[in-house]
């Protein structure tokens, strides 16, 4: 490696090329925008997820309130029926007829059970039909023991032969044993509470009883009477919606639960986590693909434009090196105005340098020629002066004057350069001699 290459490499340390600068410029333009877009998109999706969770919480609370109003209405109906005159008078057939007429087409059925929880009548069947004990003995015993309205869970009714739930109210008579008024509804009666909710985005709603059995479901009605897989054991406080992420059989689910204090039931709004986050994942994927597309377009454009600029700068640098080496440089055709201006200046400098070099060479040849002539002239002056001088002092004085005149003429010749001697300057020099 030559000394010049060593010096050039040492001088380039700590510097970067124009192509590197262009690539860094592209990165400085694109990367902050992509990062900002990703952050803004993430924040936007977080806000949307928070809004979606809030809507789901409101939906769960609204469903629970709707069910509570429905159950409260049934309790009010039971209280009104418990004060019926025929019931107090023991006219059960009349009480049956009036109750059946009042509850006609409501989807609600009335049953009356004695203290042993044996059904006396049930409006689902004609009066006087022999009936078995009520199906939900546990809730019946709890109602008789507490003396308060009691709501059962879901069960398959022996008389109805369908999935039902009961609301029971004990009736204590002064002249007789306690009896149990029972309002029964098919679980389909709860469908309205779910159907009126516009559940989207993979969200589902389910109503489960205190044992975690499904009363109603917007996902599948075949789940009625079965344990709900996301019911959980920790019941939320009544009137409070509790969001949570639950894992089941390797899958995670987003759940929002609301519990009714009146019934002890839970309303659960749920969705698979993958489904909930699918819009975010899809949007992030689109953002990534869009970012890559923008980056690719930017890289291609930067490569095309940068190549033209880089080639121009490299050619200009090569011209500068050639100019420094003394070679002739021609003006180049560059697409960048500033680079074209520098190229024009280099070409003009090369032209001026060549002209100066030509003039110097001419002057050197002229000086050499004139030096020979001057030596010849000096020799002739010396000979002529010696021929006419009678003494050495006269020779010396005459020779000195003639040499000084020759020196002045030489000064005039050099001052004129390649243009020659100016006539006025020549006359002035002769007159002042």
Mean pLDDT of 111-139: 91
Mean pLDDT of 402-425: 66
Return the exposure string of 325-363: e unless at least 16 CB atoms fall within 10 Å of the residue's CB, then b. Answer: eeeebeebebeeeebbebbeebbeebeeeeeeeeeeeee
Tens of pLDDT, residue by residue over 156-176, are 988 888 899 999 999 987 767
Mean pLDDT of 216-231: 82
Read off the DSSP letter of residue 148: S
Instruction: Return the beta strands (E) in 219-344 as ranges.
Output: 241-248, 251-259, 266-272
The edge-to-edge listing of strands for the beta sheet with 204-208 is 214-217, 204-208, 266-272, 251-259, 241-248
All residues at 6 or more sequence positions from 196 whose CB lies less than 8 Å from its CB, including other chains: 66
Which neighbouring-strand residues pair with 268?
206, 257
Q: Residues of CATH 3.30.450.20 domain(s) within the chain?
A: 71-191
What confidence category does residue 180 fall into, taking pLDDT thresholds of 50, 70 and 90? very high
pLDDT reported for residue 165: 92
> In CATH, what number does 44-66+198-276 get?
3.30.450
Contact predicate 63/197, CB 8 Å: yes
What confidence category does residue 196 fall into, taking pLDDT thresholds of 50, 70 and 90? low
What confidence category does residue 7 fall into, taking pLDDT thresholds of 50, 70 and 90? very low
Read off the DSSP letter of residue 237: P
pLDDT reported for residue 349: 83
All residues at 6 or more sequence positions from 162 whose CB lies less than 8 Å from its CB, including other chains: 156, 186, 187
Secondary structure of residue 267 in the 3-state scheme: strand
Tens of pLDDT, residue by residue over 44-65, are 877 877 887 888 888 888 888 8
Tens of pLDDT, residue by residue over 69-123, are 999 999 999 999 988 888 888 889 999 999 999 888 888 999 999 989 999 999 9
Q: To the nearest whole number, what is the mean pLDDT of the chain?
A: 81
Secondary structure of residue 47 in the 3-state scheme: helix
181 burial level (CB within 10 Å; 0-12, 13-18, 19+) = buried
Give the C-alpha separation, 255 to 238, whole Å: 16
Q: Which CATH architecture has domain 71-191?
A: 2-Layer Sandwich (3.30)
pLDDT reported for residue 405: 75
pLDDT reported for residue 78: 92
Contact predicate 412/426, CB 8 Å: yes
Tens of pLDDT, residue by residue over 320-357, are 888 778 788 787 777 778 878 888 888 888 888 888 88
Tens of pLDDT, residue by residue over 377-389, are 778 878 887 777 7
């Amino acid at each position: 490696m030559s000394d010049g290459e060593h010096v050039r490499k040492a001088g380039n340390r700590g510097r970067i090329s124009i192509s590197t600068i262009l690539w860094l410029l592209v990165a400085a333009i694109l990367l902050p925008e992509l990062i900002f877009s990703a952050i803004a998109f993430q924040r936007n999706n977080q806000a949307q997820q928070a809004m979606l969770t809030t809507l789901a919480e409101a939906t769960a609370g609204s469903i629970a309130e709707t069910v509570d109003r429905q159950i409260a209405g049934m309790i009010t109906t039971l209280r009104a029926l418990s004060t019926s005159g025929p019931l107090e008078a023991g006219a059960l057939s009349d009480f049956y007829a009036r109750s059946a007429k009042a509850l006609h087409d409501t989807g609600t059925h009335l049953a009356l059970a004695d203290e042993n929880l044996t059904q006396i009548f049930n409006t689902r069947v004609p009066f006087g039909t022999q009936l078995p004990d009520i199906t939900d003995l546990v809730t019946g015993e709890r109602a008789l023991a507490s003396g308060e309205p009691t709501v059962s869970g879901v069960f398959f009714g022996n008389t109805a032969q369908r999935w039902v739930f009961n609301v029971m109210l004990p009736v204590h008579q002064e002249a007789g044993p306690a009896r149990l008024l029972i309002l029964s509804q098919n679980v389909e009666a709860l469908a309205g509470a779910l159907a009126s909710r516009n559940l989207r985005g993979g969200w589902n709603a389910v109503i489960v009883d205190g044992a975690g059995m499904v009363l109603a479901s917007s996902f599948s009605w075949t789940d009625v009477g079965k344990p709900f897989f996301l019911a959980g054991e920790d019941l939320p406080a009544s009137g409070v919606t509790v969001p949570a992420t639950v894992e089941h059989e390797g899958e995670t689910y987003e759940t929002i639960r609301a519990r009714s204090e009146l019934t002890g039931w839970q309303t659960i709004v749920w969705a698979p986590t993958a489904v909930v986050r699918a819009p975010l994942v899809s949007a992030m994927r689109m953002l990534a693909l869009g970012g890559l597309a923008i980056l690719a377009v930017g890289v291609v454009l930067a490569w095309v434009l940068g190549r033209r600029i880089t080639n121009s700068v490299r050619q200009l640098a090569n011209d500068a090196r050639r100019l420094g080496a003394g070679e002739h440089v021609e003006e180049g055709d560059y697409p960048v105005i500033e680079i074209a201006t520098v190229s024009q200046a280099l070409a003009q400098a090369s032209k001026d340098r060549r002209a100066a070099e030509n003039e110097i060479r001419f002057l050197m040849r002229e000086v050499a020629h004139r030096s020979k002539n001057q030596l010849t002239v000096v020799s002739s002056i010396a000979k002529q002066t010696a021929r006419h001088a009678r003494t050495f002092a006269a020779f010396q004085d005459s020779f000195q004057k003639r040499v000084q005149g020759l020196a002045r003429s030489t000064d005039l010749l050099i001052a004129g350069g390649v243009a020659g001697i100016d006539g006025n300057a020549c006359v002035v020099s002769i007159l002042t001699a």
